[in-house]
Amino acid sequence: MNLRQFAGKLLRSIPFLIVQGSRLMARTPPAASPPSPDSLREVRKILVVRLDAIGDFLMTTPALRSLQKRFPSARMDILVQPGVAAVAKTFPGIHDLHTLRCQFLIPGGRRLPGILEWIAKLIELRRRRYDLVVDFSGLFHSAAASWATGARIRIGFRHPIPTGFFTLNGFGGWHSHVVEANESIHIADQMLLLPLALGGAPDSGGWEPSHESDSAAETVLKLSGITPDDGPLVFLHPGGKWPPKRWSAKNFAAVIDILQEKNIRVAVIGGPGDDSLVDEIRTNCRTAPIFLWPPEPLETIRGVLKRSDVFLGNDSGPMHMAAAAGTPVVALFGPTDPKRSAPRGSEFIPFYAALDCSPCPLYFSKNLCHRGHNYCMDNFDPAEVAAAVANLTRESGHPRRTPSSSRPQS
């Protein structure tokens, strides 16, 4: 370990020291038992905290429905990152949507402006006097935000959290009640553990479909030269929040060429920061796929995905958006396990290497496997991936007009 790595690990140990200090100063430790029914009778204002990515929010929607049914007369607000706001604002029954940037917590983030923004937002949330805060993220910053609200009941998960040289098991007195996380089940089912601890009922539904702009999607497709009469259409999204979750652009280009030589059109979409991926795919393709670039707004993307015969991509937010729209999905999983984060709402074919080291605990902090090669993602055969996509295009029929509600769940 060189000096730079040591310093980085030391910095990542700071949350451990903060939490341990708060634990020593806390008057009472968090209760391992759920809140009593009597303490929940006066809940009128709820804050849901989900400071994660789009896919994480979509996988939490069954738990949000369960919360709404448990507290039908309560006002529910939600706290998300700005990049998730376009999806979160369409969830029915949300009163106020709050956003909080977390970039200053990671390398390269804007430290001082981020800290000042946090302080201002947390003061605002505290003034709202929430009765109940439900922290679905289980992260250092989500627990800190929950604690800062001053809510009487703050419930979250207890699970191992690596912080530099140490490992935390929960957040001391930052939550008033904790529920043991079960990381052997699907993330959506794990999120439901919090509403269940509050007396809610299970919800086996899929991700809540967001409202999309049909006219905007139709305009985008028309301007790109895509019409329903041109044969099967596949939308490909090559991105992913963490680099180890991304299949190589060269492999995606090979799949595109195989599909287009079978008269299956491919349209490539991307999000902010995917410029190099899109350019690399363009360079490596022998055929000429359609590129929806620059990125379209999220409000339009779901309408576009709904008109696709198949979605192809990595474990990502657009993968979950496609499934919520009822579009069949072929997805590549490397450091993550499809048993934990598979989409629901449509036909689904996963590619998963299931190596001994999978799911990988390192990809949150590293951009490359410590062996210097992301074996869990790089060994998939483009011909096999293309064959799976082609099979789904035949099964889905053309053009795809089946409503998402009639699609079987995976």
Q: What is the pLDDT of residue 405?
A: 33
By C-alpha distance, which of 266, 224, 212, 213 is closest to 385? 266
Q: Indicate left, alpha or beta for 303 from its phi (over 0: left) and psi (-120 to 50: alpha).
A: alpha
What DSSP character marks residue 277?
H
State how far the Cα of 299 lies from the Cα of 277, in Å rounded to an integer. 22
Q: What is the pLDDT of residue 307?
A: 87
Give residue 57's identity as a one-letter amino acid code.
Answer: F
Structure tokens given for 118: 């946090």
- Tens of pLDDT, residues 285-339: 999 999 998 888 888 888 889 889 999 999 999 999 999 888 999 999 999 999 9
Q: What is the largest CA-CA distance in the chain?
A: 68
**Reduced to 3 states, what is the DSSP secondary structure of residue 201?**
coil
Confidence of residue 241 (pLDDT cuts 50, 70, 90): confident
Enumerate the β-bridge partners of residue 277. none
**Reduced to 3 states, what is the DSSP secondary structure of residue 307?**
coil
Per-residue pLDDT averaged across 210-234, rounded? Answer: 80
> Which residue in the block uniquely carries the two structure tokens 């999806």?
87
Q: Compare 49 and 358 and report the one with higher pLDDT.
A: 49
Host H or E run for residue 97: strand 94-99
State how far the Cα of 349 lies from the Cα of 170, in Å rounded to an integer. 35
Topology, domain 214-406: Rossmann fold (3.40.50)
Domain regions of the chain by residue span = 3-197, 214-406
- Tens of pLDDT, residues 58-97: 999 999 999 999 999 999 999 999 999 989 998 999 999 9
CATH 3.40.190.10 fits 3-197, yes or no: no
Average pLDDT value over all residues in the chain: 85
- Tens of pLDDT, residues 356-405: 888 887 755 667 787 777 889 988 999 999 999 999 998 765 554 333 33
**CATH fold match for the domains 3-197 and 214-406:** yes
Instruction: Report the predicted TM-score, pTM, of the whole model to 2 decimal places.
Output: 0.86
Q: What is the pLDDT of residue 250?
A: 97
